[in-house]
Amino acid sequence: MAAMTLLETRALTKTFGGIKANTNVDFLLPEGQTMALIGPNGAGKSTFVGMLCGRIPATSGQVFFEGKDISALPAHKRIALGIAYTFQITSVFANLPVRENVALAVRRDGSRTEAQVMDRVDHVLDRVGLLDRADQVAGDLSYGHQRILEIAMGLGQDPKLFILDEPTQGLAESEVTEFVDLINDLKGSTTILLIEHNMDVVMRTAEAITVLNFGEILANGTPQQIQNNPAVQAAYLGTSHAED
């Protein structure tokens, strides 16, 4: 039985001053899948993800989540539906302890007692390997651990869809390995959309890959199919590009 489509876009388009950042993007993300979104500089990845999250209004087209049209919903209402998003730059509360950072995220839905909040916080911190740092001030963590904390804050919301935007940017090699292990551990418990420039990370974590180029979908497929796709090789793989 095929997995249900969790997220879908139809003809999603964004124009900035007459310049199209994304053009008629039809995109499907099945429930429970870990998918990577890749593409060279200027491919339109950041704009596309911004439209998924509600931070950037689409010029035309639609976004569907669990079969419902959410195109008109602002970002905070999409979060309430179960879409969690981490930024390219860490957005932790540097002056608060690690535990309180995650607690703030867990409290967002307002349905848990404080005891339940703290149980959830400790569970999430244990899962990402930060429980022993729970009382440490977040700003004192290494950059890599701050990125992991940001993931913990997303997980604290118990998301149906977890969007990770350039999560390994700035990480040391050992931290990248920890991140790969964490993403692979999360497989099956949530749907993940990974926007990532590190192709080694993509190949080690993604079950499927979508390639954007010049604001349009160039290819979809398994990591092996994408790796062997001549059009993708010409546009992206095997070359060095900065990311948008």
Per-residue pLDDT band at 91 (split at 50, 70, 90): confident
> How do the domains of the chain map onto residue ranges?
1-82+159-244, 90-156
Strands 191-195 and 161-165: parallel
Would you tell me which CATH number, out of the four given (3.40.50.300, 3.60.15.10, 3.40.50.970, 1.10.10.60), belongs to the domain 1-82+159-244? 3.40.50.300
| 229: amino acid identity, one letter | N
- Whether the pLDDT of residue 241 is over 90: the answer is no
Whether pTM exceeds 0.75 = yes
Residue 244 predicted with pLDDT over 70: no
Task: Show the CA angle centred on residue 179, arms to residues 53 and 200, nearest 5°.
Answer: 90
CA–CA gap between residue 40 and residue 56 (Å, rounded) = 20
Give the model's pLDDT for residue 67: 96
* CA–CA gap between residue 93 and residue 56 (Å, rounded): 24
Q: How far is CA 204 from CA 14, 118, 171, 186, 194, in A?
A: 31, 33, 16, 13, 12
Angstrom distance (rounded) from CA 223 to CA 214? 21
Which structure tokens are listed for 45? 């990845």
Burial (Cβ within 10 Å: 0-12, 13-18, ≥19) of residue 18: exposed
Band of pLDDT at residue 87, cut at 50, 70 and 90: low
Closest CA to 166 of 228, 224, 89: 89
pLDDT digits (tens, 9 = 90+) for 149-205: 999 999 998 899 999 988 888 888 888 998 999 999 988 889 999 999 899 999 999
Q: Is 100 helix (H, G, I), strand (E, B) or coil?
A: helix
Residue 107 has pLDDT above 60, yes or no: yes
